[in-house]
Structure formats: C-alpha cells, structure tokens
C-alpha cells in the first residue's frame, strides 16, 4: 500500500493528481481511466479542503492511500473535518437544462460518483474516509 499526507489546502491538488495517476498506471489502467479516477479524487479532496478545513477556519491534512489487488484498485482519501457523507447527496437536477437555467456548481460529487465503480464513505475515529474503487477488468468503462 502507498500513502501520502498533504496539507489540507488547494496546493495539495497537484501532488494528489500525480499520486492518483501513478497508482492507476501501476494497476494497469489507461490514461482515460486514470483521468476519471483523478477527477473523482480531485473533486472530493477539493470538498475536504473547503468544507472540512477552510470554512471551519481549521488547518489539517488530507491523507491518501492506494492499494491494488487482483480485482481492484482502491484509493482512500481522509480528512479530520466534521462528519460528512457526500455519497448520499442527490444528483443535480438541471443537467439537461439550457445555458440560462443551468446552476453554477453542484457537479463535484456527481462527477466523483460517476467516474468510479464505487464510492464508499465511513467515519473512522475523527476522520471522514472516502474509498474510490475501480475494478481491474479490461475496457470496463468504455
């Protein structure tokens, strides 16, 4: 298992992207699949930084893990913010609306869920833990 701890600021997003893409490459995923996973983790890490830390006026870290077995790649993202489960949020309802009626935002969690095979939440001690799962089957998401 590989791990990485980063400061809970937006500056973490660039090394986070490199970490996730490296894990995806190691698990044999192509650039498109790696990009989908990167997007999912980036969205939820942005939420962690803004909601768990910046809006609370707190400092903290985000913690990444990547684990590969025969069947899947699992990337975990943890923060020490207040308990929050994003996996229960409803999808935006305006995805098919014309330009004038489209809301700004609300897409992050939707994109995170849409771009992995599973997105799991658990509260572990003082941490929110999100696990992003990609199944290792050839051409699984095309």
Partner 1 sequence: MLEITSTDHPEYLQISLRGEITSASASQLERTLAELLAKGPPPRWLLDLGDLLFTSSAGLRVFLTFAKRTKTAGGRLAFCNVRPAVAEVFEVSGFTQILTIAPDAAAAAVLLGAA
Q: List residues near partner 1 by CB under 8 A.
A: 10-11, 13-14, 17, 31-32, 35-36, 38-39, 42-43, 46, 49-50, 95-100, 102, 104-105, 107-108, 110-111, 114-115
Select from 33, 29, 61 the least CA-distant residue to 45.
Answer: 61
**Cβ 19 to partner 1 shortest distance, Å:** 14
Whole-number Å distance between alpha carbons of 79 and 125: 11
Nearer to partner 1, 38 or 127 (CB): 38
Q: Judge whether 134 and 73 are in contact, CB under 8 Å.
A: yes
Q: How far is the CB of 110 from partner 1 (least distance, A)?
A: 8
Least distance in Å: CB of 112 to partner 1? 9
> Rounded to the nearest 5 degrees, what angle is found at the Cα of 31, between the Cα atoms of 27 and 32?
110
Distance, in Å, from the CA atom of 139 to the CA atom of 127, rounded to the nearest integer, reads 34
Is the distance from CB of 18 to CB of 98 less than 8 angstroms? Answer: no
Which residue's CB is nearer to partner 1, number 50 or number 131?
A: 50
Are 115 and 103 in contact by the 8 Å Cβ rule? The answer is no
Q: With respect to partner 1, which residue has the nearer C-beta, 94 or 122?
A: 94
Residue with Cβ nearer partner 1 (57 or 98): 98
Q: Least Å distance between CB 67 and partner 1?
A: 23
């Amino acid at each position: 298992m590989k791990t990485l701890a980063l400061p809970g600021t937006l500056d973490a997003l660039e090394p986070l992207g490199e970490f996730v893409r490296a894990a995806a490459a190691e698990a044999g995923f192509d650039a498109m699949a790696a990009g989908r996973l990167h997007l999912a983790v980036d969205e939820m890490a942005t939420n962690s930084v803004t909601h768990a830390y910046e809006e609370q006026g707190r400092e903290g870290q985000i913690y990444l893990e990547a684990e590969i077995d025969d069947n899947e790649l699992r990337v975990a993202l943890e923060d020490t913010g207040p308990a929050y489960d994003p996996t229960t949020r409803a999808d935006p309802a305006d995805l098919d609306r014309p330009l004038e009626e489209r809301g700004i935002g609300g897409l992050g969690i939707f994109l995170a869920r849409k771009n992995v095979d599973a997105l799991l939440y658990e509260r572990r001690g003082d941490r929110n833990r999100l696990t992003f799962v990609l199944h290792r089957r050839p051409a699984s998401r095309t």
